[in-house]
Amino acid sequence: MSKKVLYIEDNADNVLLVQRALQSRGYDFSSASTGTVGLTKAHAEHPDLILLDINLPDIDGYEVARRIRADSHLHKIPIIAITANALKGDADKALAAGCDVYIPKPINLRELWTQLAALLPT
């Protein structure tokens, strides 16, 4: 059975890049363009992993991560922050909000594969 990944990201180009990459490796893929829709999809689909942009148009990714961690049905789902926020302290802020891993943009697919393999062992 393939693993399901939910990508919460408002940039369509980034979604398409990650969707193609993940589907080429057999992952089931779902996306949401806002934090609110992402939380709704996480509840409905219960993905194996969530990729999370920090700069979203409604609630930011930090709040999305905090809500996931506070939810008894979702709190164990691994979260990878994928964000353009690359200033000193941004990685710590993402991890403190509940993300398991921080990957800066532009997305390095090799790093993404490494982290997916670590968080979703087969």
pLDDT score, position 44: 98
The full DSSP string for 6-40 is EEE-S-HHHHHHHHHHHHHTT-EEEEESSHHHHHH
Give me the residue spans of the domains in the chain. 4-119
Per-residue pLDDT of the chain (122 residues; tens, 9 = 90+): 699 999 999 999 999 999 999 999 999 999 999 999 999 999 999 999 999 999 999 999 999 999 999 999 999 999 999 988 766 788 899 999 999 999 999 999 999 999 999 999 87
- β-bridge partners, 101: 80
Topology (CATH) of 4-119: Rossmann fold (3.40.50)
Query: Would you say the pTM of this structure is higher than 0.85?
Result: yes
